[in-house]
Every structure is written in C-alpha cells, then in structure tokens.
C-alpha cells in the first residue's frame, strides 16, 4: 500500500474509533453508573486484542506489522479513554471547582479529577517502552507516545485557557470537568505545543521520505498522519472550526441536565480525537 492509503486509513480509524467510543459512553450515560461500568467491562476484549496485537507486531518489521502495531496502540488507548469517559477510571476528585480557589489549589484539584487515568496512561507507556524500545518494529510504542504527549499538551492548554472549548460531548460522569477549564485569548503553552507538534510532524515526514522498506514507509506515514491530526486538533482550540459535526450525527440526544454556563469547550474525552 502507498503512504497515502495508510494516511487515509489513520484518518478514518481516528474518526470512527472516536465516534464509537463517544457513542458507547453516551448510550450508557442514559442508563446510569451501572451501565457505564458494564460498557467498560464489555470493552475489555478491545484491550486484550490491543495487548495481543502489540506483542505480535513488535517482531514484525514489515507492512503488516506496522498496521497491527498502529491499530494495537489505538486499541489500548481507546479502552483507557473509554474507562475515563465512563467515569470508571478518573481520579479521587469528582467535584466542581469552588469559586475563588487559588491557582495552586486549582491545579491540585484539577490533577485530582484525572489522576488515576493519567497514572494508567503513564504505566502503559512505560510498559510499551520497556518491551518495544529495541524491537524490530517499535510502532506501537511511537504511536502510543504521540497520543500520550499530544493529550498531555491538550489538557494543559485547556487548563491554562484557550478561546474555544466544547463540552457538548462531555458525559454526565465528567460534568465537573468544565469548571477546571479556562477560556482566554491564548496561553504561553499553546505556541510551544504547536511548534513541538509541527516539528514532530516534519520529523516523521523526513523519516517517511528516507524510508527504505515497506514497513518503514507505512509506519512513518501512519505516524505522520496521527501527529498531524493532533496538531490540527490543537488549532481547533483557537480557530472557529465546527469539529463537533464530525460525530454529532452518530450520537444519541443527551438527557436534560442542569444548566451550565455556555462555553465552547473542546470535549475532554475527544479533545484530541482518541
């Protein structure tokens, strides 16, 4: 397959998997906490498949190994995000930010809203690094690392403040999160994030140009695509792009909830696609 086909596949998988996770969580959200827990348990085969695929792909430097490694990273990441959005693996703090909270305490409380989720992501990254660093095909590691660092960047930008934030897809289990977001013209981290993601995209493209095997070509094309998507989703935080229309048609209507101040907050569970 050509790099273009690989890039289009990465785009489709990103769009479809994000929509599927949001749809599963939204349907479960209509039936309460027990339904959300059952949804996470029902997703365990996805996690198992991702772990099996990761192990299988590490020793295969060919094109098939690249595809399997990429999809396995998304499967592992997707289940962890499903558990987060369903409110099963989040953090010890499930309360909204009290008005007038000092900035240092705001950061500590914000960390408490997703501490367990972040620690699970770090643990998964460490395990993948230990088994994949010197592997013939480390694509599962690099894919997960791109998702991890882009997500950390997105969360910090939401915390520090961006012009556009969209909470339309936020499930009721995470209804306290918007109180920790901030809307402002720009923050100091955003230019750093854009520069880092642009540089990473350029590096993958350079590696793609210099690729010598089919596996390398497919692998670097997939990494270029997923990193470019992360870059685009950072720009969506400041540009008036109605990205929510990509998935709105897939989702059930939300149940009536308590009125919250209207903002344009990029959904915390999909602020970055998967």
Domain ranges for the chain, please list them: 3-248
Tell me the pLDDT band of 144, cut-offs 50, 70 and 90.
Answer: very high
Q: How far is residue 149's CA from residue 147's CA, in Å, rounded to a whole number?
A: 6
- Measured CA to CA, the distance from residue 162 to residue 185 in angstroms comes to 6
Distance from C-alpha of 99 to C-alpha of 199, rounded to nearest angstrom: 39
> Could you report the per-residue pLDDT of 158-206, keeping only the tens digit for each?
999 999 988 878 899 999 999 999 999 989 999 999 999 999 999 999 9
Report residue 68 as tokens: 């399997």
Weakest-pLDDT range from 55-69, 220-234, 248-262: 248-262
List, in order, residues 6 or more apart from 175 with CB less than 8 Å away. 257, 258, 260
Helix axes 139-160, 103-132, angle to 10 degrees: 180
Question: What CA dihedral angle connects 244, 246, 251 and 256, to 10 degrees?
Answer: 20
Two structure tokens written together for 43: 């997703």
* Predicted TM-score of the model (pTM): 0.91
Answer whether 25's CB lies under 8 Å from 171's CB: yes
| Angle formed at CA 151 by CA 177 and CA 16, multiple of 5 degrees | 95
């Amino acid at each position: 397959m050509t790099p273009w086909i690989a890039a289009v596949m990465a785009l489709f998988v990103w769009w479809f998997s994000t929509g599927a996770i949001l749809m599963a969580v939204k349907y479960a959200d209509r039936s309460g906490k027990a339904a959300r827990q059952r949804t996470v348990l029902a997703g365990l085969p996805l996690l198992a498949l991702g772990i099996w695929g990761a192990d299988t792909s590490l020793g295969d430097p060919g094109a098939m190994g690249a595809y399997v490694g990429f999809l396995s990273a998304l499967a592992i990441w997707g289940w962890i995000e499903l558990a987060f959005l369903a409110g099963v693996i989040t953090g010890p703090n499930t309360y909204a930010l009290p008005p007038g909270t000092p900035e240092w305490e705001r950061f500590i409380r914000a960390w408490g809203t997703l501490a367990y989720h972040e620690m699970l992501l770090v643990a998964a990254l460490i395990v993948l690094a230990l088994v994949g660093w010197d592997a013939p095909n480390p694509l599962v590691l690099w894919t997960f690392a791109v998702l991890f660092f882009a997500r950390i960047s997105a969360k910090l930008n939401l915390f520090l403040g961006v012009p556009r934030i969209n909470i339309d897809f936020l499930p009721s289990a995470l209804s306290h999160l918007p109180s920790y977001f901030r809307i402002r013209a720009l923050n100091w981290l955003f230019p750093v994030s854009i520069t880092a993601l642009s540089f990473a995209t350029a590096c993958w493209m350079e590696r793609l140009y210099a690729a010598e095997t089919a596996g390398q070509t497919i692998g670097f094309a997939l990494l270029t695509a997923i990193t470019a998507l992360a870059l685009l989703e950072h720009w969506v935080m400041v540009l008036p792009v109605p990205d929510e229309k990509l998935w709105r048609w897939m989702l059930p209507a939300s149940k009536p909830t308590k009125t919250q101040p209207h903002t344009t907050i990029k959904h915390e569970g999909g602020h970055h696609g998967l």
